[in-house]
Structure 1
Amino acid sequence: MLTVSLLVCALIALARADGDLIMMTQYHTITHNSLEFGGRCFHYVSVQMTWAEAEKNCQAMKAHLASVNNAEDNENIQKVIRAASLNATRTWIGGTDCQMNDLWLWSDGSHFLFSAWKPGQPDNWERGKWNDVKCSAQRPSLCALTL
């Protein structure tokens, strides 16, 4: 099973390698921008895109923008983004309310049960906390493929 996981992550990385190197000690580094943990392969895409373009790009790799299911996911995903982006942490993940204001959904269809908004928001950015911005804003993104 581990061999298959590594192969899948490697294929995602090859589909969208752009030269950034992730230096992580807690996780097995697969290739430049991809690594696997928690049964999912994550791939950081440094190209700036709108949320919809980023989701479409992830889908081209048979993935979706990353969903965050619990506090441990949130912490690990933050570490991946910080390492891959060299601390430029403003990155698209799969949460969206573009369809209806304040109705939050994950692009992969998972239930939106966990959030890490700054208290009283989703409006102000704070490191390690989530911010809602216009879907037309351009950001790098984090794709996730369930293995």
Structure 2
Amino acid sequence: MDCESGADTSTRKRKLCRLVVLSFALLCILQATLNISLRLAFYSSDTTTTPDCEAIIKNLTKQQDMRMNELARYIQQGWIYFNHSLYYVSSTKNTWNDSREDCLQRGADLVIINSREEQNFIREFKKRTWIGLTDAEKEQTWKWVDGTTPTISFWDTDEPNSYEGTDEDCGEIFFYTRENSWNDQPCDSKNVWICEKKM
């Protein structure tokens, strides 16, 4: 059972809020810089731009605006931006399959961890969470929800192990205080989950 003090929860919420605000501010700065750079590049090099060139510039600006609006909408819904992906951390617990279904309904999937930076980012949530890793199709052949095999892994010592013969086909972050934090767990256990949507 996870017991958390009110102070820890409040501190975590403040840190998460700061991260969201900082991410949004950086994205706004990036958009403004891109808009200015594109306009300067196209207008300063040739003051007699053709209608086709002007259409391309307007289209690029419109696409950037749409992406920024989409990103802002996700952030307002509680998603967190990190390294070209959006992440959603559930506030309830569920089985691995039901957790994945929730992610799919949100237009995402359970998180796929492809780098040490992403692993450490996920650990910062300091929660036992489902990740998009399973060997349900073939025992000891771990695959991500997109069908790929892990190119990097962060299994804890002696994991995965199907503890005492238990059918543990789903991956989770369990030992989040250390980098090698992955554990195999029965899929019908209930955990918090993290969805990932590539941007």
Cα distance, 1:142–1:2 mapped onto 2, change above 3 Å: farther
Q: Which runs of 5+ in 1 are unaligned?
A: 12-29, 83-88
Equivalent of 2:183 in 131, 136, 140? 131
Offset at residue 6 of structure 1 (A): 5.8
Tell me if 1:121 matches 2:159. yes
Residues 1:95 and 2:151 aligned together: no
Q: How many residues align?
A: 122
- Mapped pair 1:4 → 2:67: yes
1:50–1:9 Cα change, 3 Å = farther
What is the 5 A alignment of 1:9-88? 10-11=73-74, 30-31=75-76, 33-79=78-124, 81-82=125-126
Higher relative contact order (CA 8 A, sep 6+): 1
Give the conservation status (yes or no) of the 8 Å contact 2:109–2:145: yes
**Corresponding residue for residue 198 of structure 2:** 146
Aligned equivalents of 1:9 and 1:117: distance in 2?
A: 34
CA contact (8 A) 1:118 1:126 kept: yes
- Structure-2 change in CA distance of 1:118 and 1:6 (3 Å): farther
Larger helix proportion of the pair: 2
1:107 aligns with 2:151: no
Aligned-pair RMSD on alpha carbons? 2.2
Letter of the structure 2 residue corresponding to residue 143 of structure 1 = C
Counterpart residue type for residue 4 of structure 1: R
**Aligned-residue offset at 1:104:** 0.6
The percentage of counterpart residues that share the same residue type is 25
- TM-score of the two chains, using structure 1 as the length reference: 0.73
Structure 2, unpaired ranges of 5+ = 1-63, 164-173
Aligned amino acid, residue 117 of structure 1: W
Q: Against the structure 1 CA distance between its residues 5 and 100, is the aligned structure 2 distance closer, same or farther, given a 3 Å change threshold?
A: farther
- Bigger Rg over Cα: 2
TM-score, length of structure 2 as denominator length:
0.55
SS at match of 1:94: strand
